[in-house]
A = this chain, B = another copy of it.
Amino acid sequence: MAQRKNISEAVIRRLPRYLRYLSEMHEHGVPRISSRELGERMGLTPSQIRQDFSHFGEFGQQGYGYRVGGLLDAIRHILALDQQYHMAIVGAGNIGQAVAKYRNFREHGFLVDALFDTDPELVGKTIEGIEVLDWNNAGMYLKKNPMDIGVICVPHEAAQAAAERLIEGGVQNIWNFAPRDLDVPEGILVENVHLSESLYALAFRSNHRDMTGS
């Protein structure tokens, strides 16, 4: 597959959206789609779409549009959703449990293998068929069971230490729900979900409709 370097952050963010839109079309039996039509649905220009797809190879034929099924497979492959990911969740509180129970992830190959906590009332419990393990003994577990993704769902004051222990245990990709930025060595990827910041941004926009242009 033709690959170019330096995929922009914006393209990376659009890929999962393409997947979502194309999946829905595929479910509805749509066989082909033009970049113009896809652009209208997604709020993108046709040339933006053609440019995005050009990063990854040739999927369309001038005048015929894109085959939805073929494009969907290609994007799934590009996103590497045709493989499995082993995840360990640190923090079996509300957010940690919600992530563990979210069936969408499992269906796309993201498997929660381990759920850690320090709370003696949670350790030993079974959530979604997964036993909650003691985070203080995580080092050994992570050495024996390499994890692709560590999910941090602990309070903000415990998040940095959680990241460090995950990294010590060989985890290179961190999905962080704690409301703080993590300080990690080069080569470690962090993807943040800052829920409070998302909510505050909504509150701000609702109070400044005149300033934010909607």
Stretch at the interface among A14-22, A31-39, A60-68, A129-137: A14-22
Q: Is A110 an interface residue (CB 8 A)?
A: yes
Which of chain B's residues have a CB closer than 8 A to the CB of A195?
Answer: 99, 102, 193
Do residues B95 and A97 form an inter-chain contact, with CB atoms below 8 A? Answer: no
Do residues A198 and B203 form an inter-chain contact, with CB atoms below 8 A? Answer: no
Q: Is A52 an interface residue (CB 8 A)?
A: no
Which of chain B's residues have a CB closer than 8 A to the CB of A95?
Answer: 98, 102
Do residues A189 and B204 form an inter-chain contact, with CB atoms below 8 A? Answer: no
Q: Is A199 an interface residue (CB 8 A)?
A: yes
Q: Is A144 an interface residue (CB 8 A)?
A: no
Stretch at the interface among A4-12, A118-126, A161-169: A4-12
Give the distance in Å from the alpha carbon of A116 to the alpha carbon of B193 in the complex. 24
Do residues B207 and A191 form an inter-chain contact, with CB atoms below 8 A? Answer: no
Give the distance in Å from the alpha carbon of A18 to the alpha carbon of B73 in the complex. 41
> From A24, which residue of chain B is reached at the shortest CB distance?
B180
Smallest distance from the beta carbon of A108 to chain B beta carbons, Å?
Answer: 7
Do residues A179 and B104 form an inter-chain contact, with CB atoms below 8 A? Answer: yes
Do residues A206 and B148 form an inter-chain contact, with CB atoms below 8 A? Answer: yes
New A-B contacts (6) at CB < 8 Å, excluding given A6-B212, A79-B203, A187-B214? A15-B200, A16-B201, A81-B200, A173-B205, A175-B199, A193-B193
27 A-B pairs in the complex with CB atoms less than 8 angstroms apart: A4-B211, A5-B211, A6-B211, A7-B208, A7-B211, A7-B212, A12-B201, A16-B197, A16-B201, A17-B197, A20-B196, A78-B204, A79-B200, A79-B203, A80-B207, A85-B203, A94-B97, A110-B203, A172-B206, A173-B206, A175-B202, A187-B214, A191-B199, A191-B202, A191-B205, A193-B195, A193-B198
